[in-house]
Structure 1
Amino acid sequence: MINEAVQLRVEKTLSFVPEGNVISYGLLADLCGLPGRARMMGKCLQEIETDCNWHRVLRADGKIALPSGSDKAREQRERLIAEGVEVKRSRVNMKNFGWTPDIHTILVALEY
C-alpha cells in the first residue's frame, strides 16, 4: 500500500498536466520528488480512488502500460483521443504530446 502523502503528491502533480498532454511514469516520479520510482507511480495510480487524470500517464516510450485489449486500456485510449491526443497502436508520440513543466511549476507550484 502506498502512503497517503505520496498519493497526494501524485494527484497534485497530475493536476498540472494539461489536457491534451501526457507524462511518463518516470517523469511523474521525478516531479513528485521520487526519482527512479516509476513503478511506484503505477501502483499508486491503481490505489487512488479519485479521477486524477491517470489516463495521461504512459510508459517512457509513449505506450499505454495497461494490458492490450483490457477495459482500462480502451478507456485510457478513448480519454486521450477525446482530449485531442493522437493514439496509434496504443502508442502516443511523446515528442508531440509529452508535457514538460516550466521552471515556475517546478520551483513554485509543485513545492517538493
Structure 2
Amino acid sequence: MNDFVSRVLAVVESIPPGRVMTYGGVAAALGSRAARAVGQTMAYYGSDVPWWRVVRASGHPAVDHESRALEHFRAEGTPLRWSANGVFRVDLAAARYDGEQ
C-alpha cells in the first residue's frame, strides 16, 4: 500500500460517527485536490474503514452502496435530507466534518 492510500484511510478512520467528509474534503485534508484518487482508494481499500462516512459532494453515498450506507447513517444518527420521491442524502450543513472539530 502506498503512502497516499494509507493517508486516505487514516483520514477516513478519524471521521467521528454521525459525521461525513466528501471525497474532495478527504483530499483537501491531505493537502491534495485528488478527489477521484480518494474515490479509487476507497473503492479498492476502503472496506475495512467506515467507508459510509465519505460521500459525494451532493451528500449522496457511494453508488450502489446506498442501502448499506443508510443502515450505518441511521445507526450513527447522521443527519439526512429526504426528497419527495424517497431519495436521501446526508445533510452536509449539519454533518460535514473537516478534521478540526
Q: Secondary structure at the match of 1:99?
A: coil
1: CA distance, partners of 2:77 / 2:15: 14
2: CA distance, partners of 1:49 / 1:23: 14
Which residue of the partner structure matches residue 66 of structure 2? 73
Q: What is the correspondence of 1:1-112 to structure 2 with a 5 Å cutoff?
A: 4-35=2-33, 37-48=34-45, 50-66=47-63, 70=64, 72-87=65-80, 88=82, 89-102=87-100
Answer yes or no: is the 8 Å Cα contact 1:64–1:90 preserved in 2: no
TM-score with structure 1 setting the length: 0.76
Which residue of the partner structure matches residue 109 of structure 1? none
2: CA distance, partners of 1:83 / 1:31: 23
Please tell me the residue identity of whatever aligns with 2:42.
Answer: L
Describe the superposition over 1:8-50 as per-residue Cα deviations: whole angstroms up to 9, x where unpaired.
0011111221111010110101112322x11111111011165
For this pair of structures, how many residues does the alignment match? Answer: 96
Structure 1 runs (4+) greater than 4 angstroms displaced: none
Q: Secondary structure at the match of 1:91?
A: strand
Percent identity reads 27
1: CA distance, partners of 2:69 / 2:2: 24
TM-score with structure 2 setting the length: 0.83
